[in-house]
Amino acid sequence: MKKTAAELATIVGGKLYGNAEQEIVDVRGAMDAGPEHVTFAQGVYAEHLEEFRAGLILVDKLPEKTTKNLIVCDDAKRGFSQLVELFHPETHVKPGIHPTAVVSPTAKVSPKAAVMPYCVIDDGAIVGDDTVLYPYVYIGRNAVVGQGCEIYPGAVIHENTVLGDRVVLRAHAVIGGQGFGFATDAQGHHNHIRQLGNVILHDDVE
């Protein structure tokens, strides 16, 4: 994909200073960006703009002197995140339940959800629309996973846990595990006290 500096300025809602026809083919971090890349500079990095090799740089404010092609926008980092999505859009997973997944007959899984290989969804669990469960995810009894969530490989959601909408759990995250509570008797034996509470993560938690 190729975009001109002018096109990228329109996308991020910023004002371009420099060559409007500069062609950009990808995003890069400040240290790795070359003449065909766009990057951003905030804070102390903005003081070193003249050392950048990037063909286009997003900044929060226009410096007094510069030889670089710049886009000034309200939030350079947020603007850069928009361009990351532009040049590297996320892959959309098709909904459906993989044949190797184990889903309890009492669980409720939205037909719009994607359940990948070797997931386990226990009794009474609920999985909402557009949620993606990557391989080897475990959803415990009566747990609730909202809409548009991304649960990455190996994550464990214990019983009675509640996740809101658009929650992201990275690989091997464990939510709602038993607390570290013990009662010790006179003989020094430690007896685990089962925890009865649950964990609730609200919308847009990552």
Last residue of a domain, which of 32, 57, 87? 87
63-121 residue pLDDT tens: 988 899 999 999 999 999 999 999 999 888 899 999 999 999 999 999 999 999 999 99
Decide if pLDDT at 178 tops 90. Answer: no
Say whether both 138 and 41 belong to one domain.
no
Decide if pLDDT at 179 tops 90. Answer: no
Here the tokens at position 196 are 């009865």
3-state secondary structure of 102: strand
The residue count of the chain comes to: 206
Structure-token match 């669980």, residue found: 107
Largest Cα–Cα distance in the chain? 80
How many domains in the chain? 2
Say whether both 64 and 110 belong to one domain.
no
Compare 26 and 192 and report the one with higher pLDDT.
26
Could you tell me the CATH number of the domain that includes residue 163? 2.160.10.10
Q: Given pLDDT bands bounded at 50, 70 and 90, which one contains residue 192?
A: confident
DSSP code per residue over 7-33:
HHHHHHT-EEES-TT-EE-EE--TTT-
3-state secondary structure of 126: strand
Decide if pLDDT at 196 tops 90. Answer: no
Decide if pLDDT at 195 tops 90. Answer: no
Between CA 21 and CA 37 the distance in angstroms is 13
Give the rounded percent of residues in the chain with a pLDDT score beyond 90: 80
Say whether both 105 and 46 belong to one domain.
no
Say whether both 55 and 82 belong to one domain.
yes
Say whether both 111 and 191 belong to one domain.
yes
Say whether both 134 and 188 belong to one domain.
yes
Say whether both 70 and 102 belong to one domain.
no
Could you tell me the CATH number of the domain that includes residue 81? 3.40.1390.10
Last residue of a domain, which of 57, 87, 117? 87
| pTM of the model as a whole | 0.75
Say whether both 106 and 83 belong to one domain.
no
Domain of 196, in residue numbers = 93-206
Q: Please tell me what DSSP assigns to residue 184.
A: E
Say whether both 203 and 159 belong to one domain.
yes
Q: Given pLDDT bands bounded at 50, 70 and 90, which one contains residue 28?
A: very high
Mean pLDDT of the chain: 94
pLDDT at res. 90: 83
Compute the average pLDDT of residues 167-184.
92
Amino acid at 108: K
Say whether both 74 and 119 belong to one domain.
no
Last residue of a domain, which of 63, 87, 111? 87
Burial per residue of 76-111, b for 16 or more beta-carbon CB atoms within 10 angstroms, e otherwise? beebbeebeebbeeeeebebebeeebebeeebebbe
If phi over 0 gives left and psi between -120 and 50 gives alpha, with beta otherwise, what is residue 11? alpha
Say whether both 203 and 103 belong to one domain.
yes
pLDDT at res. 158: 97
Sequence-ordered list of residues with C-beta below 8 angstroms from that of 185, at least 6 positions apart, any chain: 191
DSSP code per residue over 38-101:
EEEE-GGGGGGGGG---SEEEESS--SS--S-EEE-S-HHHHHHHHHHHHSPPPPPPPEE-TT-
Say whether both 78 and 136 belong to one domain.
no
Q: Do the beta carbons of residue 39 and residue 27 sit within 8 Å?
A: yes
